[in-house]
């Protein structure tokens, strides 16, 4: 079965389209949108963004992640050129980027749709961010929770590999402990 598409709220779609339209100019500040035909740009693959704090993730797994916005991919003909992120269901604070996670998201979607688990059941594609560990991953939410880290991934994870929720949180445990220990106030 294909990934379940969750439609972004109208305010999000509208704000994303307006933001992309404003930045897609030959003289624009956004290099990836200088050589496009603005009227032919398409917003694709809307998905929710979730952010996980380390303590919540270690304590309750992926259920500890909170929805922090929406993301849509920006396509110019047959290639993904950018992603636009919005902070909430009202389309606030649009942010355009064309970094490595945009390209890896586009390729990951195709690879994820071919996974045996995904062809056999319904999954919602989500973007999971764990800022404290510099992780961005595809989160496949369904009856089973699967996580696929996007490239570039930190050394303790393998980009493109499918992890169960248990395996993913186990891989994060030790690096998270180091980060949390470094953040803890010293007792002196």
pLDDT tens track for 6-24: 999 999 999 999 999 999 9
In the chain, the percentage of residues whose pLDDT exceeds 90 is 78
- Taking only the tens place, the pLDDT of each residue in 34-90 is 999 889 999 999 999 999 999 999 899 999 999 999 999 999 988 999 999 999 999
Helical segments of 67-164, H only: 100-113, 116-120
Per the structure, the complete domain to which residue 42 belongs is given by 10-183
In a domain, 87, yes or no: yes
pTM: 0.93
Mean pLDDT of 121-126: 94
Tokens of 60: 């309750």
91 found inside a domain? yes
Work out how many domains the chain is built from and give that number. 1
175 part of a folded domain: yes
User: Is residue 5, in this structure, part of any structural domain at all?
Assistant: no
Question: Is 171 among the domain residues?
Answer: yes
Return mean pLDDT, the chain: 93
3 in a domain, yes or no?
Answer: no
Asked if residue 106 is part of any domain, the answer here is: yes
Say which residue the tokens 């270690």 belong to. 58
Average pLDDT, stretch 104-120? 90
DSSP output for 139-182: EEEESS-EEEEPSS--TTS-TT--EEHHHHHHHHHHHHHHHHHH
Q: Is residue 4 part of a domain?
A: no
Listed residue (56, 53, 61) closest to 170, CA to CA: 61
Q: What is the pLDDT of residue 163?
A: 97
Whether 188 has a pLDDT exceeding 80, the answer reads: no
């Amino acid at each position: 079965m294909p990934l379940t598409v969750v439609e972004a709220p109208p305010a999000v779609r509208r704000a994303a389209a307006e933001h992309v339209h404003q930045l897609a100019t030959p003289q624009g500040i956004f290099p990836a949108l200088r050589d496009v035909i603005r009227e032919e740009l398409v917003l694709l693959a809307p998905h929710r963004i979730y952010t996980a704090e380390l303590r919540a993730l270690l304590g309750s797994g992926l259920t500890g992640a909170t929805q922090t916005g929406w993301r849509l991919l920006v396509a110019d003909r047959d290639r993904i050129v950018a992603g636009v992120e919005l902070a909430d269901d009202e389309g606030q604070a649009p942010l355009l980027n064309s970094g490595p996670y945009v390209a890896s998201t586009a390729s990951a979607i195709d690879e994820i749709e071919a996974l045996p688990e995904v062809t056999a059941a319904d999954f919602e594609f989500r973007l999971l961010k764990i800022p404290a560990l510099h992780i961005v991953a595809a989160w496949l939410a369904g009856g089973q929770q699967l996580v696929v880290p996007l490239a570039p991934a930190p050394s303790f994870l393998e980009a493109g590999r499918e992890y169960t929720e248990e395996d993913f949180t186990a891989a994060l445990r030790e690096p998270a402990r180091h980060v949390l220990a470094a953040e803890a106030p010293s007792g002196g």
